[in-house]
Amino acid sequence: MIIMGSKSDLPVAEKAMRVLGKLGVSHEILVASAHRTPGRVMDAVTGSDAKVFIAIAGLSAALPGVVASYTNKPVIGVPVSGVLSMDSLLSVVQMPPGVPVAAVGLDRGDNAAILAAEMIGIHDERVGASLAAYRAEQAAGVAEDSEAVRANV
């Protein structure tokens, strides 16, 4: 399940959805804010049978931590960049002991999706195979880039 704190976080969520779609991981998405709609966050998390949560938020980004407070499932937090950027990054990373959130880099919805797929792929062979193909495709892209650079020097 992907939860974003605001509709304005959609470009980051779209990165995650693109990757999850490519890897064949079913997902749903909703907007729920830890500050503006805490009850909505609680209902969404406690009523979900998702295996992994991706929580995307900017500014004083409490959302990933609040999601983690309502579930024992893994939560991946994606800090959204803004005027300061360190605000959301530190808000996601600096969780108190006992309630961890796996933090990815600023706006890295794509990496959050890969990490979620890796967790799901531990037990789901189909997703594991998708990940292996994704890595092979990525490696082939680097080799192609190398050839293209070498051909032009």
Q: Which of the ranges 21-29, 54-62, 104-112, 129-137 carries the binding residues for ligand RP5, by CB under 6 A?
A: 54-62
How many Cβ atoms are within 10 Å of 145's Cβ, its own excluded?
10
**Cβ 121 to ligand RP5 shortest distance, Å:** 28
Q: How far is CA 68 from CA 52, 77, 84, 120, in A?
A: 10, 9, 24, 17
Indicate whether 57 belongs to the interface with ligand RP5 (CB under 6 A).
yes
Query: Cα(73)–Cα(120) distance, rounded to whole angstroms?
Result: 11
Q: List Cα–Cα distances, 43 to 33, 48, 106, 136, in angstroms.
A: 12, 8, 27, 39
Binding-residue pattern over the window 73 to 102 for ligand RP5, x denoting contact by CB under 6 A: -------x----------------------
Interface size with ligand RP5, residues (CB under 6 A): 9
Contact 1, 116 (CB under 8 A): no
Among 16, 20, 23, 33, binds ligand RP5 (CB under 6 A): 33
Bridge partner residues of 56 (DSSP) = 4, 78
**Shortest Cβ 17–ligand RP5 spacing (Å):** 16
Between 58 and 74, name the residue whose CB sits nearer to ligand RP5.
58
Q: Which residues bind ligand RP5 (CB under 6 A)?
A: 5-6, 8-9, 33, 57-59, 80
